Amino acid sequence: MNLNGVEYYYTRDAQGDIIGLFDTNGNDVVSYTYDTWGKLISIDGSLKDTVGVKNPYRYRGYRYDTETGLYYLNARYYNPELGRFINADSLGGKVGELVSHNMFAYCVNNPVNMQDSNGNWPTLTEMWQSAKSAVTGVVNTIKQHLVTAAVTAGVALVAAVGINYVIKHPRTASIISGGASVAKNQSDKVSKGVNGVSKTFPKNPHDFNPIGLKKLEFNTKANGRIIKWLDDTKKALFEWNEDLQYGEHYHITPDGENRIPHPTTENTHILPGDPIPDDFIHLFK
- Is a pLDDT exceeding 70 seen at residue 130? no
Portion of the chain with pLDDT greater than 70, in percent = 71
Spans of all domains in the chain: 1-124, 127-194, 205-284
- Is a pLDDT exceeding 80 seen at residue 217? yes
Name which residue leads in pLDDT, 56 or 152: 56
| Band of pLDDT at residue 25, cut at 50, 70 and 90 | very high
Over residues 165-214, the pLDDT tens digits come to: 444 445 444 444 555 454 445 444 443 444 444 589 999 999 999 999 99
Contacts by 261-267, CB closer than 8 A, 24 or more apart: 261/129, 265/133, 265/136, 266/129, 266/133, 267/126, 267/129, 267/130, 267/132, 267/133
- Is a pLDDT exceeding 50 seen at residue 123? yes
Q: How many CB atoms lie within 10 A of CB 129?
A: 18
